[in-house]
Amino acid sequence: MSTDSADITALRSGKLRHLPGADLQDEDLSGLDLAGIYLAGANLVGANLSRVSLIKAHLEGANLMGASLVGTDLRANLWGANLMQCDLTGADLRGANLRGANLMGARLEGVSLAGAFLSGCNLMGVNLQGVDLRGVDLRGANLSDTNLKGADLCQADLQGARLDNANLEEADLRQANLSGASLSGANLLCADLSDTQLNGVSLTGACLIGTHLAQ
C-alpha cells in the first residue's frame, strides 16, 4: 500500500495507528511510541526503528530486512516477519511471537528472548553466544551454524530443531527437549545435557568431549 506524507505525519504524531501493508521503506521512525500499532504486512526495509516502543504491535508478515532495531521494545507479534540482516542489538524480545520469522544474518547481541516463541524460526548462522534462552519454544527452528557458546537453553523446547554444525560449547541444555533434533557436526564440548530428552536425536560427527550426559 502506498503511504503518503500525510499518513507518515499522522503516524509520527500518534494519530494513525492502523497501517496494514504500509510502505515505510527507509523511513526514520526512531524514538517513537508505536505501542499497539497495526503494521501487518508493512514494508519496513531499511527503516530506522531504534529505541521505538513496539510493545503489543502487530507486525505479522512485515518485511523489516536490514532495519535498525537497536534497543527497541519488540514484545510484539512478529509471526512470519522478515528480520534478515536486522540490527537487534539490545532489543527486548521477551515473550515476542517470532514463529516462522526469518532472522538469518541478524545481529542479536544483548537481546532479551526469555519466554519468546521461536518455533519454525530461521536463526541460521546468527550469534547467540551467552544469550538467555531458558524455556524458549524453538521447535522446528533452524539453528544450523549458529553460535550458542555458553547459551542458557535450560528447559528449552528444541523438538525437531536443526542444530547441525552449531557451536554449543559450554551451553546449558539441562532438562531441554531435543527429541528428533539434528546435531550432526555440532560442537558440544563441555556442554551440560543433564536430564535432557534425546529421543531420536542425531549426533553424527558431533564433538562430545567433556559433555555431561548424566540422566
Q: What is the pLDDT of residues 176-201, one digit of tens each?
A: 999 999 999 999 999 999 999 999 99
- Would you state the pLDDT for residue 7? 85
Angle at 124 between CA 199 and CA 65, to 5 degrees: 140
> Is residue 11 very low, low, confident or very high in pLDDT (cuts 50, 70, 90)?
confident
Mean pLDDT of 111-128: 94
Q: Does residue 173 contact residue 154 with C-beta atoms inside 8 Å? A: yes
- Cell 552449531 sits on residue: 166
Residues forming beta bridges with residue 122, ordered by sequence position: 102, 142
Does residue 141 have a pLDDT over 60? Answer: yes
- Would you state the pLDDT for residue 15? 86
Does residue 161 have a pLDDT over 60? Answer: yes
> Is residue 38 very low, low, confident or very high in pLDDT (cuts 50, 70, 90)?
very high
Q: Does residue 176 contact residue 195 with C-beta atoms inside 8 Å? A: no
The single-letter code of the amino acid at 34 is L
